[in-house]
Structure 1
């Protein structure tokens, strides 16, 4: 594949390396027919599992069902980059317009705490998800990226980030952490931990099930309906589930539901992972602190050093498929694998001979304004959470606890956060949607090329892309 070193067991497809490592879980039984519950949750990813877990912990007598088309953790929850990060998707100013600046600051502080909440629950439930809280490093590799990084850190100071929450690092301090080729500056935040995503999903599903949550797999939900005669419903190919509340937790797969085709755009993201790297190679890379790594490019990457000394690195690849289609069990394109490998070697030249062992992709949900949301309508009995735009590992936990409070009609600090109740317009119909996304990412790629060549400020291409996207 264009000279990329590949191992003999390399697979261009499959759910993810994380499941290759952890093993695919045995399938649970499907829905046996029409059923009645107090709460029905559509989608067995992190959002659905956290919501079920916290509801059952808070009120053990609730009858809760999770309905999943494949198996719990099949989607982005088992395919992501393993960033348990306090970063929150969307414009802070937009969220602040809903309930004020302090409310957005409160939301950011809630995200800080959510990182530790996930770590605490994993420990209490005996979930071994390779958790290591080493923090997060953002690297700038050209003057334009450095300018954006400095501006972002300065802006975060006005949104609840103290000096200890995010700080700049010069080239020397950056090099003490990890040796990113060409890095001229960096930023560090302690509010991030590495996880093995599939292990967390598998463990969380088991924890929820042990509490008495019913998880039905191989059960396709086709439509969610508001209350009729006092009960909402989830229509499946195996019977209809009625419940006082039906929660949509389908993230990037939302477009598959009747009437939801333009609600959230399924954005594709791809990853590769190397074979375990030898100690001699790590001497050239550093990375002894196991921080998570991102950059300041517009077509940005995200990476981790895994618990067994591999590098897993991801990026957008082919960002969108016409008609909101999704991948087939994580299969990704050869050109995307090649692009990610080139980026890996560019950042870490010592890895030039390292073999790529696996590649995969998945979808994440993107609202039209790129801002995450959580909502529950007591009149219709319908609720949802999602639109995490790639920042969902931690945000799903906050969403699950917030949905718990909303379902139980609790007036808490969580239910007053500004992302609660947020609703935005739908995405444009095809072919405008496809054309728009292709144009946006073509402009971002052009911006990165321009900035790498000679740019000292953010490229006009990126500014145009931001305007078109509505970010």
Structure 2
């Protein structure tokens, strides 16, 4: 299937009329109270909440490209408030009550983001809806029911997540062979580039200075070194997610895992009648290969997945351009989940990186001795998680003791990723095993998850 546009950062910017003009770069050496590296969701939310609490603070945000160039302007638009990580790992640095509190605050981010959009006049095509995660094999049913049972054991009730049987699931979206689905309430669809650009404008109105076209090369206590000059600040926040590998000394902190999306042409109303999807729900499935989709404001399907998951040496893409192999895999997923879309034109394909810590669990923190803070490692859940991270960073910078600063993800420091070629072999092996596991489960029709998937998880610590 041919693609009209490949790369150019993402479709979301094309949907807004094209890439935005860049703001001016850093004019030379400056001094501020807080310097934030990275003008994506994390950095901008931190700036927003800092200014809300302390309007007198001088804050500079330094960005290599433009606000939203990274994952914040390329993701699938899932504002889910989802936890999504291994709870037991957070128990290593906290209590059961702390993990429950973290989940509760993450769920609250959806309403918080929608509230701020309304207050700031941000039109991000936001739409409150539900997330449907489909099971199309007995093994997938087993995994989703096990996930639901774990949620119930942690006190997550049907007001948040529940089970639909096959008929009820198929009545929502006509996914072939649907045996059931988890339905998650209290989520939202967004157009991520509109959200990040609207947030950037909101922080600028409060006096935050955003310097684009400025490459940060090194972060040391009290100092951010760039190709345009130096920024001196008592507090420095690193909000670079999958691009952290570009900062000196941080090349193995978080692995830049590639994810990609294709967007179809707008579908005619008659075709939507065949598909269903009337509630613009977020759509995924329980396969190991993983996919995520939304029905856009203009009636397109945006379908995402991992494709080619990792480039050797933690390599990054060229402004979103993705490989034909990845596009072919995404088309196969689209046609498997929504076969009614077969033959539609693809208007855009792109990719980007998300940050993955060695233990696959997000973290936020501040080293008081150095004044350097950080947040990220969202593993694909950054639209909503970055909001809580921004709130928490603001608390930490202001030395405020709040419920947020006591959460078990604060100041966690997982070990670094292995050097090459070990991490390339590990990630490639993981996704190869996932693909084999999906194939075996579909072919055999058994109710048990393939052991190959367990081997993949063990291989990379997922």
Matched residue of 1:385: which SS? strand
Q: 1:15 & 1:377 partners in 2: Cα distance? A: 33
Which residue number in structure 1 is paired with residue 275 of structure 2? 285
Q: 2:333 & 2:456 partners in 1: Cα distance? A: 22
Matched residue of 1:272: which SS? strand
Which residue number in structure 2 is paired with residue 43 of structure 1? 38
TM-aligned CA deviation for residue 26 of structure 1:
1.7
Counting only pairs closer than 5 Å after superposition, residues 337-348 of structure 1 correspond to structure 2 as 337-348=327-338
Q: Is the 8 A contact 1:90 1:369 kept in 2?
A: no
Q: Is the 8 A contact 2:308 2:325 kept in 1?
A: no
Does 2:378 align with 1:388? yes
Matched residue of 2:385: which SS? helix
Matched residue of 2:127: which SS? coil
Partner of residue 450 from structure 2, selected from 448, 459, 470: 459
Does 2:72 align with 1:81? no
Matched residue of 1:276: which SS? coil
The runs of at least 4 consecutive aligned structure 1 residues that moved more than 6 Å come to none
Which residue number in structure 1 is paired with residue 242 of structure 2? 252
Which residue number in structure 1 is paired with residue 24 of structure 2? 29
Q: Is the 8 A contact 1:42 1:221 kept in 2?
A: yes
TM-aligned CA deviation for residue 173 of structure 1:
1.2
Superposition RMSD in Å: 0.9
Does 2:286 align with 1:296? yes
Counting only pairs closer than 5 Å after superposition, residues 157-306 of structure 1 correspond to structure 2 as 157-226=152-221, 232-306=222-296
Count how many residue pairs are aligned between Structure 1 and Structure 2.
460
TM-aligned CA deviation for residue 5 of structure 1:
5.2
Q: 1:158 & 1:78 partners in 2: Cα distance? A: 36
Which residue number in structure 2 is paired with residue 56 of structure 1? 51
Q: 1:37 & 1:406 partners in 2: Cα distance? A: 17
Counting only pairs closer than 5 Å after superposition, residues 321-360 of structure 1 correspond to structure 2 as 321-360=311-350
Partner of residue 304 from structure 2, selected from 306, 314, 326: 314
Question: What 5-or-longer segments of structure 2 have no aligned partner?
Answer: none
Which residue number in structure 1 is paired with residue 6 of structure 2? 12
Which residue number in structure 2 is paired with residue 441 of structure 1? 431
TM-aligned CA deviation for residue 413 of structure 1:
0.8
Q: 2:431 & 2:112 partners in 1: Cα distance? A: 35
Give the TM-score taking structure 2 as reference length: 0.98
Matched residue of 2:49: which SS? helix
Question: What 5-or-longer segments of structure 1 have no aligned partner?
Answer: 227-231
Which residue number in structure 2 is paired with residue 229 of structure 1? none
Matched residue of 2:358: which SS? coil
TM-aligned CA deviation for residue 458 of structure 1:
0.7
Give the TM-score taking structure 1 as reference length: 0.97
Q: Is the 8 A contact 1:255 1:264 kept in 2?
A: yes
Q: 1:98 & 1:377 partners in 2: Cα distance? A: 16
TM-aligned CA deviation for residue 171 of structure 1:
1.1
Matched residue of 2:289: which SS? coil
